[in-house]
Amino acid sequence: MSDQKNENNNNDKIVSFPEASERARIQKEKKEAEKQARAEEKKRTRQEEQWRTMYRNRQQEAGARAAAAQGGKQPFFNFGHIPPFTKTMVGALLLIQILLTVLTSEPQRMEIFSLLGFTPGQYTGAVPWDNAAWIAPLTSLFLHGSWMHIAFNLVMLLAMGTNFERNFGTRRTAIFYFASGLAGCLTCLAFSPSSAEPVIGASGAISGIFGVTFLMLNERGVLGTGTFRKPLPFILLWIALIVGTGMLLGGNIAWQAHLGGFLGGLALFTLWRKQILKF
C-alpha cells in the first residue's frame, strides 16, 4: 500500500510534454485562431468604414434637401451639422475666451496662464512646482493668448475636426485630439526643459487632427497625383514649415507644440491602423 502511494506521489511530480505531432496541432490551432481574430478585426474595420460612408452620404443628402428647400442655396455655415465633439470643443474654447476677456484684467489673465498653462520647467525642477501642474497638460489646451490666436484655431478645428469626426467617430476624435495635445506638451518639454514660459493653446491637438486628415485624404486620392501623392514629402515639408515659422517668429509661437502634435497624431494613427493600438 505504501509503495503504491509513493508511486502515485512520484507520478504527480512527473511533467509530461506533448509529442511533436500534438505540439504541431496546438501551434496550428493557435495560428488559425489568430488569423481568424485578424480577419474579424478587418471585417469590423470595413463595416465601420461602410457605416461612416453611409453617414456621410446621408449628411450630404440632408444638405442637398435643405439647399433645395431654400431655393438651391446652400448655407455657408451650418452649426447644426457639426459633429458633437467638434461642436463641444468649439463652444468650450469660445466660452472660456469670452469669460477671460470680460471677467479678468490683463495681469489676472497672465496669472491664470502661468497657473494653468504648461510650464516645462516645473517638470524638471527648473521652476518651482505648483500642484496645478498635474492638470496643466489638459487645461493649457483650453487657453489662448489673444482673439487672433483662438480665431485661427477655431477655424482649423471646425474644418479639420468636422471632417475627422465624420470619418472616425466622436470617441476616436476625442482620443486623437487630447493625445496630440499631450504630445505637443511633451515635445515642448523635450526641447525646452528649463523654460519658465507657459505654453497655452489647442494648436498641438489640432495639428494632430490635421496630420491624420491629410493622410486620410491622400489615401483616397483627393489630393491628386504627383510628388505629394506619397505622404513623406508633404510630412517633411510641413515639419520644415513648422520649424521655420517658429524660428522666424521666435517666442510668439510654440512651434514645438505644433510639431509634437502633428507627429503625435501621425504616430497614433499609424499604430491604430496597424492594430497595435485598439480603441
89 in a structural domain: yes
Q: What is the pLDDT of residues 63-119, one digit of tens each?
A: 556 555 555 444 444 556 789 999 999 999 999 999 999 999 999 999 999 999 999
**Cα 262 from chain centroid?**
9
Are 227 and 104 members of one domain? yes
C-alpha angle 236-238-242 in degrees, rounded to nearest 5 = 120
Q: What is the pLDDT of residues 194-223, one digit of tens each?
A: 999 999 999 999 999 999 988 887 777 665
Are 140 and 55 members of one domain? no
Round to whole Å and give the CA distance between 116 and 66: 43
Are 139 and 266 members of one domain? yes
Last residue of a domain, one of 41, 69, 97: 69
Q: Is the pLDDT of residue 55 over 70?
A: no
Please compute the mean of the pLDDT values over residues 114-141 and round it to a whole number.
95
Please compute the mean of the pLDDT values over residues 243-249 and round it to a whole number.
79
Are 54 and 100 members of one domain? no
Are 36 and 133 members of one domain? no
% helix, strand, coil for the chain, step of 5: 75, 0, 20
279 in a structural domain: no
Q: Which residues pair with 199 in a beta bridge?
A: 118
Round to whole Å and give the CA distance between 53 and 47: 10
Domains: count for the chain: 2
Last residue of a domain, one of 40, 69, 98: 69
C-alpha angle 236-240-243 in degrees, rounded to nearest 5 = 135
pLDDT of residue 19: 74
Q: How much is the pTM?
A: 0.72
Placement of cell 505654453 in the chain? 199
pLDDT of residue 250: 65
139 in a structural domain: yes
Round to whole Å and give the CA distance between 184 and 157: 16
Are 164 and 47 members of one domain? no
100 in a structural domain: yes
pLDDT of residue 75: 45
Question: Rg of the Cα trace of the chain?
Answer: 26
Q: What is the pLDDT of residues 149-174, one digit of tens each?
A: 999 999 999 999 998 999 889 999 99
Are 48 and 182 members of one domain? no
Are 119 and 212 members of one domain? yes
178 in a structural domain: yes
193 in a structural domain: yes
Are 50 and 124 members of one domain? no
Last residue of a domain, one of 38, 69, 100: 69
- Domain range for residue 158? 83-273
pLDDT of residue 23: 73
pLDDT of residue 235: 85
Are 229 and 254 members of one domain? yes
Round to whole Å and give the CA distance between 207 and 180: 7
Are 101 and 214 members of one domain? yes
254 in a structural domain: yes
Mean pLDDT estimate for the chain? 82
Instruction: State the CB neighbour count (10 A cutoff) for residue 106.
Output: 7
Are 266 and 210 members of one domain? yes
- Tell me the CATH number at 149: 1.20.1540.10
77 in a structural domain: no
Round to whole Å and give the CA distance between 122 and 199: 12
Round to whole Å and give the CA distance between 102 and 135: 24
